Every structure is written in structure tokens, then in C-alpha cells.
Structure 1
């Protein structure tokens, strides 16, 4: 039997075995990389692993990661979601679906600030769940809109998972951020459209429409949105305007978040310390996974597995469309058991050579991959947004998964749209050079 085939089977068995035993993803990747290097190559395993871990830990592109995580943690401890609800509610209250649109729009705005799906879902949900329940909105729809819309934290920039993909695929993070804008807006339209159609078909389940809000009160309510919109413009505008790199924009975001937290009087020494420590734990976890995945990548590269696998796929004569469908099913299956960052670092060394060989743009594929991982965020048993909603509502995880199912389908619809019309992703990056 060919040695590369044996190495590939060994890789699959070891990774599956370690993950099935509950071993941390980072430890599993590092251990498998060491075994592969020692068993199938004559390379000096110790020095290569050490140098790879070092190289993976100091990349400049990764500097923005802990800063965006910290910004999200600061805002999570502020009253931003409360003011966002106050600012949006008068404008959407009389639309079909009413205040359910606040969940969609609020998550969209928060996604452009926090960069994390779980933080987006929890921050908006903490305010809107009790408020919508008090006003008589169906709990299933409240949960569904939050679980689905919370996934936009991965797609609308600045996105932590895009930073990880950019580092893994050696693509421009700023270009990935720009590519995520139009698909993110399209996803908000799909979600709001579904909410409107559902409410029109189920009028009896919806509460009575509120009285019409005078235009003057609507305009005054916009003041509550000013802080969050201002922070979005500062962070995203500085990147798109060419005034700041993603790392510099992350610094701007942290300073802005601290100022907002101070203005909301939620910035105390305790909240500052808790946010900083939480950001440090999350960033260290992600960095360790990236470093361990780099060790596995260098090991499989020495074994020549990615090149031979890409060559084998090439002999099958798969069209790019079929290849994307096969990889999409694989990502969705992995998403039932792993979180998004682990999926990217675990599969990139094998997938990316195949994608390049098929002539698929790596920036476009990054958005394709992020949307798939968004869908995985609301699939049991390891859908992070499902766990967030369970902690907020106390409902059964299967009830929450059923509530989120329509939004899973809409994410697949968005995938179909970007496949049929690639310029939804690539148009803005081309326009901005």
C-alpha cells in the first residue's frame, strides 16, 4: 500500500480518535502532527515543531485577533444592546414581524462591532428575549431570529474567524473583510424577509400592532443608535477608507469600546479586569489552536499528502461545483461536532490546495466557508448559538434547534446565491482595488 495512503488513513484515525476521547482540539492537532512527522518522515521532528509553533505565534496579522476579542468583551459588559433596542424599535414596530426585526438588525449592527457569533447572540438576546416575551411575541420566533441572526457575527466584518482564515490561507484580512460586507447585508435582508412573510401568514400568533410612532420620536430615538453606529464607522470605515490596517482599526475599536463603556457607567475596575481576562483566555485558546494546526500542516506537507490528494481529486474530473458541494457537506458534518475556528485550521492544509487546483478564488472560498460555519453554529449537538440561547431561555436544545431551522435553510440559500453570482462576494473587493 502506498505510504501516502497509509499516512492519510493514520491522520484520519488519530484525529477522529483524539476528538472522540474529548481531547482538546489544540492538543489533538499537535500530537497528531508530532506522530505523523516522527512516523512518516526523516525530518527532525523536535526542531521543526518548535520553530513552527514559534513562527505561528508572532504573525503580525494575528495581532488584531486579541484586540477584536477584547473589544467584544468590553461591549458585552456595557448597555449597548439596551440603547440599540430603544433606537431600532420605533422604526420597525409597525413592519410585518414588528420587533422581531430588532433581533435581525441589532445582531447585524453588533456583528459589525464584536466580530463574534456568540457575543453577538448573547448581547442582543440578553435584552430582547425578556422584552419580546413581555410584549407577547412567540418565543419560538424570538429564539429563531436571535440564533440565526447571531451567526452574522462571523460574516459581517470585523470577523474573528475571517482573521483565522486569512492567516491560514495567507490572504489579505482587509480584503476578506470587504468581501463579507455585501453577503452580510444580503443575509440580513433574507432573515428580515422571512420574518415578514412568516408574520403575515401567522397573524394570530403575533401581538397587536403598536400605535404609530410620530416621526419626531423616531428621529429622537436615533440618538440611542449613535454610539453603536459611530463605533462601526470608526472601525470599519478606517479599514475601507485606507486609513488603518485591521490591527490599527482593532486598537481604535478597543479605545472606542472603553469610552462607550465609560459613558454607560459600566466601566469599573472589576469589569475591565473581567473583560481583559476573558479576552486573554479566548485569544490564547485560538492562538494555541492555530499554532498546533500549523504543526499538523507542516507534518502533512512533509508527507506530501495535500499535493497528492489534490492530484487525486484532479484525476476524478470533478467540476468546481461538485467539489464545492462535497466540501460543503464535509464542513457541515464537521460543524456538528467542532466549532468554526477548529474546522478552519483542521481542514485548511488539505482543502486549500484542492481549491487552488480547481481555480477557485481563495477570498471567495473564505466567504463560502464562513457561511457554512455560520450554518454549523445552529446545528446540534455543538451549535454554539444554540447553547447561548439555551442559557438565555432555559429551553430544550432541540426546541431551539427547530426554531433556528428556517435560518439554517436561508444560509444555504445565500450559499446558492454566491455560487450563482460570485460578484456578490468579489464585486466590492474588485471595486476597491
Structure 2
């Protein structure tokens, strides 16, 4: 008789209670024990990690644009989830837009799930969408298992997913509050951006002026006020403006049900380093100045920003307009799901943060946001999802070895610290075939 199907043993394990030398016992795809390193154990398979490796929980990425069906030439479930697995991510939640149809009713959710079934390398869930005229579809989508509802406060970039007006946002928040759902918001103010200068061309400074910080600040203030008024749980997506941090902190202090994310690109790059025509750096909201970046890092340390997720948003090379280098017409999105962990660890260690901090930002808190109690932590009862990480190893990013469909990346040629050596999903090594599941809100 063996006690466990699998045991992973390491001198460094990042558990729910901190870092320790220990082993993790797995039975039937779940963590059944977490014990000190020298505790005797029997198992069908015992794996000792190398001296330079750390056992982390599998990461949870709640902001991924897969785009399939409809725009599968941009990205697909097989390629996106394989890239996720290579980056130590074992759970993703797919965004409702860029696919056709967008996930704005139960029928569209069925199409999305049918398309994804059998293709996913990691466990995969789905957000629903809140768009003009679909308030009556929100509760059925919630009951069908979406994790919440995404909306835009300005043009989304695709016509089939229109944005909400102030009155429509109020209506959606009241409906979502009625069943204690979650509304996640792309918070940039349409009127502010409409009145900003818009100059075509290769100068990043011109693009930055077209998406000013105040556009985020105005939109976030609106979300805060409506969340306060309606009691709705609200989540600010991909925060890039540090100017919004004081009002976010104040609102949370007053009890407004508000959470906030940022992304690796806002914590890795600065506006000052983006060259002429380098449209691989274009995203919306944009990468801002160095002082802004440092304020985002401080907000993570202070707990004002809850989590770090990829906003993996790929497209075809043609849509990035690399040949023209025109920021005004290039698609805004950065594909980084495979690189998020080393990108964040590279910046975090330079600022005195620990791997336990990174796990909190990229595994524990995204899982909490989505209500995935079995994900994002190494603890008895959780899914046996693991990332084997070598935190001192370095590599130079080569787009040719990335798994997402169109390997355009602003990280190309950048030296990052931290290598994902192995990824396990529910006690099985992710290797040569997809074995992820489609998951729904409320599963544990």
C-alpha cells in the first residue's frame, strides 16, 4: 500500500502559510498532505526537485483573450492554453470578446464551451459580457457558470461588443448586484479620449497623449460611485494610471466592494524606453512613464492593487502594423501569458519582494477574485496544480519558442530571471497532450 499517488519534495515550497522545506502528497488529483521535508512518506511516485527549484502553486490568470471561435487566426484555445502551461499557469478565465459570437448570452456560452472542449491544456473558465440591451441575459449567464461580466466604457475595439453608457452601466450594476455577481470593467472614459489629441504616426509620445491618465481616473471614479450606490462588486481591469490609486484606496476604506488588477507589461516597461514605430508595445490603456510604474509596484506592496494577470491579447502580425509602425492604427494588445511569471519575478526581486509575494499576486488573489477555492494555493484539499520554478536561472526571450499562435512580443531579446521547468495539473504533468477541464463558477 502507498499513502499517495504522487509526492513532490523540495527544500523550498511556497505553501498557503509561507515558504518551507517539505513535501506535498497528492491523491486523486488533490493535495492530501503538506508535511515537513524529513517526514517519512510512501507514494506511487516520489519526485525530488533540483536544489535550484522551488515548488509553487499553479498560477491563475483571469484575464485571457483566446478569440476562438471567430478570430482563431489571432489565437485559439489549444495555442493559448499550451502557452499558459509553459508559463506555469494552470487555470485561465477567457474574456467574452474578440470571439464571434461574443459571450453575451447562454447560447454564445454554449458555442464557446463546445469549441474549447478537448483543446485546453489547462483548466479554463469563461467571463460573460455586459453590453447594451443584454441585462436580461446576465442572470441566466450567471446561472450557467460564468465567473462574472466584462464591460467597456468606451469602444472595445470590435463592433460586436459595444460599450455601456453611464445609464447602462448603472442598470447593469444594479442587476449584477441583485444576484451578488461580479462586474469587471475596462475603465477608460470615452468622452475624455474623444477630446484627447489623436495624431497618426510612429511617435509613442503621441499615442500616450491620446490615452491620458485622466481618462482612466474619470472612469474609475464613475465605477466607484456606482458600486457605492448599488452595492455591486466591481473589479477594475488592467490599471495603468497610478493617479487613480488614492481614490481606489479611499473607496475600499469606505467599504466599497472594489478590487483591482494590473499587468506584467505595466510593471516591466516604461514609456521612455519605447522607440519609434515599436507597435509591439501598444496596449490600451497604455504603458506609462517610469515614475508611474514605480507607484504601481508600491500599490501592489501596499495591497491597493490585488493581483497581476496577463491581459493576453494577441493578434495577427498584420494587425500590429509592424511594417508601418503607426500606433494610431495598430491593434492594441500584448501577448505575454507564457512570460508573466519571469517578467514579474524579475521586477519583484529587484525591489525586495519574495516568491511568496508573487504567488499571492498571481495565484492566490486571482483565484479569490474568481471564487476558485481549490486553485492558486498549496494546501490540503486544493487541486494538485503546481509550477516548478528555477528563480535564479536566466534566459533571453526568443519569440520562436513561445507557444501562442502569433509570437509577437515586446519582451523579445529581453533577459528575464526565473525559468518554469515543469507544470502539473491535478497531479498530472502537463506534457504532450491537453487534459484541462472546462470549469464553472462555484466549482471547488
Rg comparison, structure with higher value: 1
Please give the range of the TM-score, normalised by the shorter of the 2 chains.
under 0.3
Greater fraction of residues in strand? 2
Is the helix fraction higher in 1 or 2? 1
TM-score, normalised on structure 2?
A: 0.25
Higher relative contact order by CA 8 Å / sep ≥ 6: 1 or 2? 1
